[in-house]
Amino acid sequence: MKTTLFILCAVLLAPAWAMDTVPEKGGGWYILRWLEKPDGNGESTKAKPEDRTEFKYIKSFERKDGEQGFSEARQQLRAGDVIAYRLPKWEARKQIFLKLDLTKLGYRLLKYGHLAIVVDDPANPGQLRVFSSQSFKGPNVREDVDTLRDHDWDAYRLDKPERLDVARLNEFVKLSQEKAGKWYGYDFSGMFGLWNSNLRPTKEDEIGHDYICSTVVLTALHYAGVQLDATGRKGYLDLVSPYQVVKSKGSFVKPAQLVLVADAAPLVNGRWFGDYLDP
């Protein structure tokens, strides 16, 4: 309880110098930005230039843009796009202190407070849904893209989107939900950096039963052939924040090569201190 009160006071009383160079859009303490840096010496540095990839910013939406603004933003989305959610600082504080909604802490501490990826609707081909993981829900596609009108967000897309293995992405979405199946599908242990599910699965039996929002997106992309350099320090005490995922460079890897990469990877992968992040 004392720890929680300390965190709340720190968020409320954060000095101006801790926030003065934060980008206009999005939240986060500048002094914590170094924690959100992806690995600068990851697997992508060893890949051929034509196999390297990174995310490109494509579109932003804010609720104040209204229905017309949302319609224009929505039309640009496609399967494989990553959605990074943000909140104005004043709104995050209001949610935390007036409504005691601790899930909004991430919006104050980090650049983005939640992460999701646009996927094909498993039940309705041709329709798009939002795949992510939330507290007491685990990996899910309960929301369609129309629910994005209720949030502020930035959308990112791989610079070579045609090379994303959409079939394997859809397979991961299906299998991860089947494996979760219970309230613990959300990785509560990962909130404290204790342990986590495998972030580099290559086949069905390697997919874990619990993920937080940023790692479920990271893992889905890996399963679909995109190895991102989001984690470092051999997976220990790694911060895997939403911003870290979208700023990460990576490389395209075929399924056969994925097995080799996964075999060489440590069993304990990157996990960050909290998904007090989900909207």
**Main-chain dihedrals φ then ψ at residue 21, nearest 5 degrees:** -115, 20
Amino acid 198: pLDDT: 79
51 belongs to a structural domain: yes
Instruction: Flag whether 277 is in a domain.
Output: no
Is residue 52, in this structure, part of any structural domain at all? yes
Domain with 17 in it: 2-264
In a domain, residue 274? The reply is: no
Average pLDDT over residues 171-198: 63
Give me 254's structure tokens.
């075929």
pLDDT of residue 109 exceeding 70: yes
Q: Read off the pLDDT band of 138 (50, 70, 90).
A: confident
270 lies in some domain: no
Given a contact cutoff of 8 angstroms between Cβ atoms, the answer to whether 242 and 110 are in contact is yes
| Non-local CB neighbours of 139 within 8 Å, separated by 6+ positions | 131, 132, 133, 173, 176, 177, 180, 185, 211, 216
Question: Would you tell me how many other CB atoms lie within 10 Å of the CB of residue 207?
Answer: 22
How many domains does the chain fold into?
1
Q: Give the pLDDT of residue 87.
A: 87
Please state which of the ranges 61-65, 79-83, 92-96, 175-179 shows the lowest mean pLDDT. Answer: 92-96
Inside any domain, residue 138: yes
| Residue that wins the pLDDT comparison between 30 and 203 | 203
